[in-house]
Amino acid sequence: MNNNMQKHALKIICYIFCSIYINANSQNANISSFTIKTNYKTTFNAGFNDTIGKYGSNDFGISFIIPVYKHLFVNKENKSGFYNLSLLNSNNLIFSKIDFLDKNNTLLNLNLGIKGVYFSGNKNLWLSKITLNFFEDEYSISAPHPKFSGTFIFDRIVNRNFSYHLGLTYRYSFGIASFLPVAGLKYGITDRWKLLLSLPFYSCIQYKVNKQLQLSTKIRPTGTLSYYTNKSKLFGQSQEILLFRKRANTFSLDALYKLNSSISILGEVGREANRKIYFSNLRTEINKEPINYFMSRINSTWFINFGFAFKLGKTKSTANDYTIDYFEDDFDF
């Protein structure tokens, strides 16, 4: 690891420990629990359709939800509401392997954000999030390219078994900067079965086996982008900063097991289809494709993912905890 990488790693570690200390010593009884999540994902090698070689990747991630403030109140109709603010931090190291490249760069996705949630007590909930993103590699991180993303969602809780939401998001989920509408619902079919939709990003059916174990099947499009320092002579100029982009459609089955109120374990297996990778120039106009130096389809492949979540302290119970869990755990804004 070079000196720049060591410095940035040290800053991240200091940030983590300071956040834990501040949260642990908070005297505000209305602050919800500090949460840490980790995961490790392996996407198995698969051949290119348009050229010789294979592509695969390993992804390690760690993320934090750091409560800042939560206030409970009773409205004029004597119903409980609340508003809260949380700091968000997620960090991913992606080790990709592209056979035909002389040098495969390590990708770093670092995200810092703030999320606000307001529940009126009258079945209306508003959620907003602003995030500062760094999509870099081990070389470009020394002169990073910050990007902002954001989401605003209105959620209407009709009853305990049904809610729907509408909103707008600006994000990079499909490998380009995009303003997109969001529409979806959550429907409790029975006490055990649930349907969750948040289009165009997410669809899921959940089955609750018991209090500890929950099974899910999910379909979602995925996409990433990263600044990529060109170390190959195959396209572009040497040392030129390129955009590396990936797209796929994902189908997965997962099991979420709650050991207790604080600790959860996730196991997931899935299939990636309609896969493409791109090396492009740096033009990132909203809703427009960059100019590609290289593009290739990749054969479908399997992936496995293991995750762990830990909550420090107890979260106060509210009438719509299930809605907050929906946005935090099941839909990645």
Question: What pLDDT, in 10s, does the model give residues 5-29?
Answer: 545 545 554 544 454 444 444 433 3
* Residue keyed to tokens 């740096």: 282
- Residue 99 pLDDT level (bands cut at 50, 70, 90): confident
pLDDT digit string (tens) for 127-164?
999 999 999 999 999 888 899 999 999 999 898 899 99
Contact 325, 196 (CB under 8 A): no
d(Cα 37, Cα 61) in Å, to the nearest integer? 8
* Residue keyed to tokens 């529940």: 119
Task: Tell me the domain boundaries of the chain.
Answer: 3-330
Give residue 119's pLDDT.
Answer: 85
d(Cα 177, Cα 225) in Å, to the nearest integer? 10
Phi, psi of 122 (to 5 degrees): -110, 40
Phi, psi of 315 (to 5 degrees): -95, 135
Q: How many CB atoms lie within 10 A of CB 179?
A: 11
Q: What is the pTM of this model?
A: 0.80
CATH of span 3-330: 2.40.160.40
Report which of 90, 94, 95 is spatially closest to residue 15, judged by C-alpha positions.
Answer: 90
Helix or strand run (H / E) with residue 325: helix 321-325
Helix or strand run (H / E) with residue 92: strand 80-98
Q: Can you tell me whether residue 18 is helix, strand or coil?
A: helix
pLDDT digit string (tens) for 272-325?
999 999 888 876 656 667 778 888 899 999 999 999 999 886 554 444 444 444
CA–chain centroid gap for 235, Å, is 31
